[in-house]
Amino acid sequence: MYKKFSLIIFTDLDGSLLHRDTFKFDTIKDYIKSLDNRGIIIIPNSSKTKTEIEKFNEELGMELPFISENGSAIHGLNLVNSNFPNKIILSRDKEELLKIFKTKVPKRLLSKCVQIFKLDKKEQEKIFGQKNERLKDVLDRNYTIPFLFNGNTAEKNNLIKILNSNSLTLQAGGRVLNLCDNVNKVKSMNRVVKILKKIEEKIKTIAVGDNYNDLDMLKNCDIPCLVFNDQFKLDQINIDNLIFSNKPSPEGWADVIKKALAKLNYND
Q: What pLDDT score was predicted for residue 26?
A: 97
- Among candidates 101, 225, 115, which has minimal Cα distance to 163? 101
Give the start-to-end residue ranges of the domains of the chain.
7-89+184-264, 94-181
Say if CB 169 and CB 187 are below 8 A apart.
no
- pLDDT tens over the chain, length 268 residues: 445 678 999 999 999 999 998 999 999 999 999 999 999 999 999 999 999 999 999 999 999 999 999 999 999 999 999 999 999 999 999 999 999 999 999 999 999 999 999 999 999 999 988 899 999 999 999 999 999 999 999 999 999 999 999 999 998 865 689 999 999 999 999 999 999 999 998 899 999 999 888 999 999 999 999 999 988 777 778 898 999 999 999 999 999 999 999 999 886 5
Query: DSSP H helical segments within 61-184, as ranges?
Result: 94-104, 107-110, 121-128, 132-138, 153-165
User: How long a stretch of residues is the chain?
Assistant: 268
Q: Which CATH superfamily is domain 7-89+184-264 in?
A: HAD superfamily/HAD-like (3.40.50.1000)
Q: 87-89 and 73-75: which strand pairing?
A: antiparallel
- The CA–CA distances, whole Å, from 262 to 30, 31, 219, 242, 246 equal 19, 15, 20, 14, 17
Q: What pLDDT score was predicted for residue 267?
A: 63
Say if CB 224 and CB 12 are below 8 A apart.
no
Q: Phi-psi bin for 18: left (phi > 0), alpha (psi -120 to 50), beta?
A: beta
How far apart are alpha carbons 13 and 23 in whole angstroms? 9
- The CA–CA distances, whole Å, from 71 to 59, 114, 119, 162 equal 22, 23, 25, 21
* Identity of the amino acid at 88: I
Q: What pLDDT score was predicted for residue 132?
A: 92
- On the question of a cis peptide bond just before residue 44, with omega within 30 degrees of 0, the verdict is no
Question: What's the pTM?
Answer: 0.94
Q: What pLDDT score was predicted for residue 174?
A: 59
Q: Domain 94-181: state its class.
A: alpha beta
- How deeply is 140 buried, as exposed, middle or buried, from its count of CB atoms within 10 A (0-12, 13-18, 19+)? exposed
Q: What pLDDT score was predicted for residue 235?
A: 75
DSSP 18: B
DSSP 212: G
Say if CB 51 and CB 57 are below 8 A apart.
no
